[in-house]
Structure 1
Amino acid sequence: METIKIGIIGIGQIGKMHIQQYQSITGVEIVAVCDLNEAEARLVAEQYKIPHVYTDFRSLLERDDLVAVDVCLHNNFHAPVTIAALQAGKNVYCEKPIAGTYFDGQQMVATAEASGKHLHIQLDTLFQKETKAAKALIDGGMLGKLYHARSTGFRRRNRPFVDGYGTPYFTRKETAGGGALLDMGVYHISQLLYLLGNPTIERISGKLYQELDMLQERREQSRFDVEELASGLIRLADGMTLDIIEAWAVHLGGFEGSSIAGSKGGIRLPNGLEGAESQPFSFHSTICDMDMDSTLNLDLMDTRWHRIRDNEDAYDSSQQHWIAALQGRVSLLPTSQIALSTMLISEGMYLSDELGREVAAEEVIAHSHTTAVSL
């Protein structure tokens, strides 16, 4: 297989995670890293034996041996760096969400189309075993006509920085664009949009909350001005609906996992919790006039598919899929389009909360503007 040479832009928490994940993927070589913090960049380069270090991403993009770059920056930095990389002839893998606003995400997608280069957004839930099982059941007609989905994401009291992890950049609109919706919700909403076939979004209603106490010192340091909980109802094409609840912090013992209801059957995804609160993947249907609730052995499914399907490893993770697509082994899933639809929903919920009413998708698109920050 062709060795894909890439550069990493941003070596903070997420950048380091991406570098570690690349270590286990055959056919990829990290040639260079870039970060404004030169000392940290050199430490990381030394640790992972990466030969070249930059503090200006534009200098990194001048390298003619790089096939792609991996953008691991905060949300409002995604668009300027991604667009510059695509225009420099590089394929781009960008951390989620696609950008800070729909407008900026659309500019990224348009630039990718104009340049003929791949744009892949990190949506790792698309590559989970439960997503593959759900997709197989849907494609096999086991759910019938899909009509409603529910997207859920739960943390009890786990807001970035103010609850003890991460940096204040996650909690400020100026760098993150939003809170729980753009940090966690992107994973769950995009997963459901993928399973629903990325339907056209018609109307959006949303409400945002920041209600729980936080340490005053942490509140002041973080300048926390984003949502810790978001709820919404989305009207989709063909009469489908999607309801959403996403929490960084809420005084409850947990949520049910995300779900999809169809005319012949339904699925519920795991809720991501551990212990007594954990919930497995389940499929629900009626057989011989009897209501049946069933679970699947996802590990056996995964083992079998790896044994009998070509290039099944290309769907083991977002990064493995990215490298396999660049090698020409598989077609790239439309993650940029799904991520853009996810951003339209999120921004629509923000606008709906601001205006106190339901909004049309076209209204959200017209209202959206750039929040991009250049490095």
Structure 2
Amino acid sequence: MEPVRIGIIGVGLIGKHHIQQYSAIEGVEIAAVCDINEQEARKTAEQYQISSVYSDYRQMLARDDLTAVDVCLHNNLHAEATIAALQAGKHVYCEKPIAGTYRDGLTMVEMAQECGKMLHIQLGTLYRNETKAAKTLIDAGKLGKLYHARSTGFRRRGRPFVDGYGSRMFTRKEFANGGALLDMGVYHIAQLLYLLGMPEVARISGKLYQEMDMDPKRREESGFDVEESGMGFVRFAGGVSMDIIEAWSLHLDGFEGSSISGSQGGIRLPAYSDIHPKSAFSYHTTICDMDFDSTLDLNAMSERRHRLNPDEDAYDSSSKHWVAALQGRVGLLPTAEIALKTMLISEGIYLSSRLDREVAADEVAELSYLTAEKEI
């Protein structure tokens, strides 16, 4: 099989992480890297033995030997680079969130369809063992009728830059267009949408906060104008609901993990927190009028699946799934559609908080905008 030749757009922290992931996958060649910081691009190319370096991604897209490109830019730059790559005949893997706005994301999805190319969004939670176990139970009907989900994510004090790590670009609407919801919440909301079967969003309400103390100098340097925590409630068509709480920073000692409730059973997913160790996956049901709380050896489940399914490795991570799809080994999961619906919910929370009322999904879509046409 010919190697899959990939070009990387953006060699910051995320771009380097993607390169490292590809380096562990057989049949992949990173053929080129591109960054407006040409010095950093050349340094990265030398480190990972990549032959070609560009400072203008459009020059890289003119190559006819690239199968796909990987977009690792700030949120508000995703749409422009992705659309250009699709129009150049390349499949595209894009870092989460799908874009800075719902309208940007929708344009990306529509362009991929128009060009007949694959668009894949990095949603790492879809490949976790607990997600696979939960989906297996749900698909087998062990939860019965699903009716409510809870999406949670917690950091004690983990705001980018102002709390001592990461880039100030994460904290400014100019580049990111959002804070905790678009950085962390994307993973948890997308995971639950996938498990719920992608129900249609009907109405959204929410509230954003930036209340905790910050180092004054860091606040000024960062231009911090996004939320450090966001809360929301979503009503889906068919009666399913979801509540959301996502915090970069909060005076508590952690949250319980995300969960799904059904008429015949419920699932608790592990909590991901910088305070407490990871909690366990658990399944809850009633059998013969007795209430059962069950745990599962996820590692044993994964090992058995790898022994029985020759393509199980294609679901070990987002990057492995992408390469397997490019190789034609498996069909691509609908990550672009999941990410787009996640963006609709996130933008709905932003709009609801701004208007101080519940908003309809159609209203969110109508008021969304292309970042290229509007100053943030």
Report the TM range for the smaller structure's normalisation: over 0.9
Q: For 1:333 and 1:10, how far apart are their aligned partners in 2?
A: 24
Map 1:164-175 → 2, pairs under 5 A: 164-175=164-175
Asked if structure 2 preserves the Cα contact closer than 8 Å seen for 1:74 and 1:175, the reply is yes
Q: For 1:211 and 1:73, how far apart are their aligned partners in 2?
A: 28
Say if 2:15 is the partner of 1:15: yes
Asked if structure 1 preserves the Cα contact closer than 8 Å seen for 2:71 and 2:78, the reply is yes
Say if 2:199 is the partner of 1:199: yes
Say if 2:280 is the partner of 1:280: yes
Q: Residue 173 of structure 1: SS of its match in structure 2?
A: coil
Which moved further from structure 2: 363-372 or 6-15? 363-372
Look up the match of 2:241. Answer: 241
Q: For 2:362 and 2:18, how far apart are their aligned partners in 1?
A: 35
Q: Residue 125 of structure 1: SS of its match in structure 2?
A: helix
Q: Which runs of 5+ in 1 are unaligned?
A: none
Look up the match of 2:178. Answer: 178
Look up the match of 1:290. Answer: 290
Look up the match of 1:31. Answer: 31
Look up the match of 2:231. Answer: 231
Asked if structure 2 preserves the Cα contact closer than 8 Å seen for 1:109 and 1:337, the reply is yes
Letter in 2 for 1:185: G
Asked if structure 2 preserves the Cα contact closer than 8 Å seen for 1:202 and 1:236, the reply is yes
What is the TM-score when the length of structure 1 is the normalising length?
0.98
Look up the match of 2:80. Answer: 80
Say if 2:291 is the partner of 1:256: no
Look up the match of 1:335. Answer: 335
Q: Residue 132 of structure 1: SS of its match in structure 2?
A: helix
Distance 1:276 1:155, change over 3 A: closer
Q: For 1:274 and 1:356, how far apart are their aligned partners in 2?
A: 31
Q: Residue 244 of structure 1: SS of its match in structure 2?
A: strand
Q: Deviations over 1:218-247 (max 9, x none)?
A: 000000000000001000111000000000
Q: Residue 245 of structure 2: SS of its match in structure 1?
A: strand
Distance 1:158 1:275, change over 3 A: closer
Q: Quote the RMSD (CA, aligned, Å).
A: 1.1
Q: How many residues align?
A: 374
Letter in 2 for 1:237: A
Q: Residue 362 of structure 1: SS of its match in structure 2?
A: helix
Asked if structure 1 preserves the Cα contact closer than 8 Å seen for 2:253 and 2:275, the reply is no
Look up the match of 2:160. Answer: 160
Q: Deviations over 1:257-280 (max 9, x none)?
A: 000000000000000237855311
Displacement of 1:2 after TM fit?
Answer: 3.6
Asked if structure 1 preserves the Cα contact closer than 8 Å seen for 2:254 and 2:276, the reply is no
Q: Residue 242 of structure 1: SS of its match in structure 2?
A: strand
Q: For 1:276 and 1:77, how far apart are their aligned partners in 2?
A: 35
Q: Residue 50 of structure 1: SS of its match in structure 2?
A: coil
Displacement of 1:46 after TM fit?
Answer: 0.5
Q: For 2:48 and 2:182, how far apart are their aligned partners in 1?
A: 30
Asked if structure 1 preserves the Cα contact closer than 8 Å seen for 2:154 and 2:274, the reply is no
Q: Deviations over 1:57-95 (max 9, x none)?
A: 000001100000000000000000000000000000000
Q: Residue 174 of structure 2: SS of its match in structure 1?
A: helix
Letter in 2 for 1:28: V
Which portions of structure 1, spanning 4 or more consecutive aligned residues, are displaced by more than 6 angstroms?
A: none
Q: For 1:198 and 1:366, how far apart are their aligned partners in 2?
A: 21
Asked if structure 1 preserves the Cα contact closer than 8 Å seen for 2:153 and 2:273, the reply is no
Map 1:25-174 → 2, pairs under 5 A: 25-174=25-174
Look up the match of 2:310. Answer: 310
Displacement of 1:106 after TM fit?
Answer: 0.4
Q: For 2:85 and 2:92, how far apart are their aligned partners in 1?
A: 7
Q: Deviations over 1:320-357 (max 9, x none)?
A: 00000010000000000000000000000000000000
Q: For 2:253 and 2:50, how far apart are their aligned partners in 1?
A: 44
Q: Which runs of 5+ in 2 are unaligned?
A: none
Q: For 1:275 and 1:188, how far apart are their aligned partners in 2?
A: 18
Q: Residue 238 of structure 2: SS of its match in structure 1?
A: helix
Letter in 1 for 2:20: Q
Q: For 1:275 and 1:228, how far apart are their aligned partners in 2?
A: 17
